Amino acid sequence: MAERLLLNNRYRLLAVIGEGGMATVYRAQDIMLGRTVAVKVLHEGRAKDDTFLARFYREAQAAANLDHPNIVSVYDIGRDGNRHYIVMEYVEGRNLKELILESAPFPIERALTIAIQVCAAVGAAHKAGLIHCDVKPQNVLVAPDGRLKVTDFGIARALSSTPMVEGGDVWGTPDYLSPEQAAGKRLGPPSDVYSIGVVMYEMLTGRLPFEAETSIALALKHLREEPTPVNELNPRVPPGLARILHKVLAKEPSARYRTASQLAQTLINYHRAGETITTVQRPVIVRPEPQPVEVVSPFEDRVGYYEEEAEWEEERGWDWVAVVLGAVALVSVLGLAPLWTLVYNRYARLPPPTAPPPAVTVASDEVLMPDVVGMDQEAARKLVEATGLQFMVIGEQHHETIPALAVISQVPTGGQPAKRDAVVEVVISQGQDLLVVPALVGQAIGVVEPQLVNMGFTVEKRKEWSLMPVGTVLTQDPPANSMVSKETTVVLTLSSGSRLPLEANLADRVLLVSCDLDRVEFGPGETIQLTLHWQALREMTEDYTVFVHLTHAEGQLVSQQDIQPLGGAKPTTSWTPGEMVDDPYELAIPVGASPGTYWLKVGMYSQNTMKRLLVVEPGRAQAEQDSVLVKQIQVVQ
Amino acid code (one letter) for 626 = D
For residue 271, what are the contacts with CB-CB under 8 A and spacing of at least 6? 112, 113, 116
Q: Say whether pLDDT at 363 is over 70.
A: no
Catalytic member of 67, 80, 134, 477:
134
Whole-number Å distance between alpha carbons of 517 and 632? 11
What is the reported pLDDT for 321?
Answer: 40
What is the reported pLDDT for 329?
Answer: 54
Whole-number Å distance between alpha carbons of 463 and 29? 31
Q: Say whether pLDDT at 464 is over 50.
A: yes
* CB atoms inside a 10 Å sphere around CB 342: 9
Query: Which is it for the CA torsion 194, 199, 204, 208, positive or negative?
Result: positive
- For residues 298 and 210, membership in a common domain is answered with yes
**Nearest of 397, 399, 377, 381 to residue 389 by alpha carbon:** 381
Q: Where are the alpha helices (DSSP H) in 104-174?
A: 108-127
CATH number for the domain including 190? 1.10.510.10
Q: Are 372 and 381 in contact (CB under 8 A)?
A: no
- For residues 110 and 160, membership in a common domain is answered with yes
Q: Which residues pair with 533 in a beta bridge?
A: 514, 582
- For residues 535 and 570, membership in a common domain is answered with yes
Query: Domain end: 495, 510, 531, which one?
Result: 495
**Residue 337 within a domain:** no
Whole-number Å distance between alpha carbons of 426 and 441? 43
Digit-coded pLDDT (tens) for 10-49: 999 998 888 766 778 999 999 888 889 999 888 877 666 6
Query: Domain end: 66, 89, 112, which one?
Result: 89
CATH number for the domain including 458? 3.30.10.20
- For residues 152 and 299, membership in a common domain is answered with yes
Is residue 134 among the annotated active site residues? yes
Average pLDDT of span 424-430: 89
**Residue 272 within a domain:** yes
**Residue 305 within a domain:** yes
**Residue 422 within a domain:** yes
What is the reported pLDDT for 260?
Answer: 93
Q: Say whether pLDDT at 430 is over 80.
A: no
Q: Where are the alpha helices (DSSP H) in 249-363?
A: 260-276, 303-315, 320-347
Which structural domain, as residue segments, surrounds residue 104?
A: 94-285+292-315
- For residues 196 and 231, membership in a common domain is answered with yes
Q: Say whether pLDDT at 318 is over 70.
A: no
Rounded to the nearest integer, the mean pLDDT of the chain is: 81
Whole-number Å distance between alpha carbons of 550 and 558? 5
What is the reported pLDDT for 214?
Answer: 81
Digit-coded pLDDT (tens) for 104-114: 999 999 999 99
Q: Which of 59-68, 283-292, 600-609 shows the highest mean pLDDT?
A: 600-609
- For residues 152 and 114, membership in a common domain is answered with yes
- For residues 99 and 70, membership in a common domain is answered with no
- For residues 484 and 576, membership in a common domain is answered with no
- For residues 259 and 212, membership in a common domain is answered with yes
**Residue 39, CA distances (Å) to 18, 30, 413, 515 in order:** 10, 10, 58, 29
- For residues 420 and 537, membership in a common domain is answered with no
**Residue 343 within a domain:** no
**Residue 525 within a domain:** yes
**Residue 401 within a domain:** yes
- For residues 251 and 157, membership in a common domain is answered with yes
**Residue 329 within a domain:** no
Query: Domain end: 59, 89, 119, which one?
Result: 89
CATH number for the domain including 12? 3.30.200.20
Q: Which of 327-336, 370-379, 391-400, 578-587 shows the highest mean pLDDT?
A: 578-587
Average pLDDT of span 113-127: 91
* CB atoms inside a 10 Å sphere around CB 571: 15
- For residues 165 and 183, membership in a common domain is answered with yes
- The number of folded domains in the chain is 5
CATH number for the domain including 514? 2.60.40.2550
Which range among 285-289, 402-406, 561-565 shows the weakest confidence by mean pLDDT?
285-289
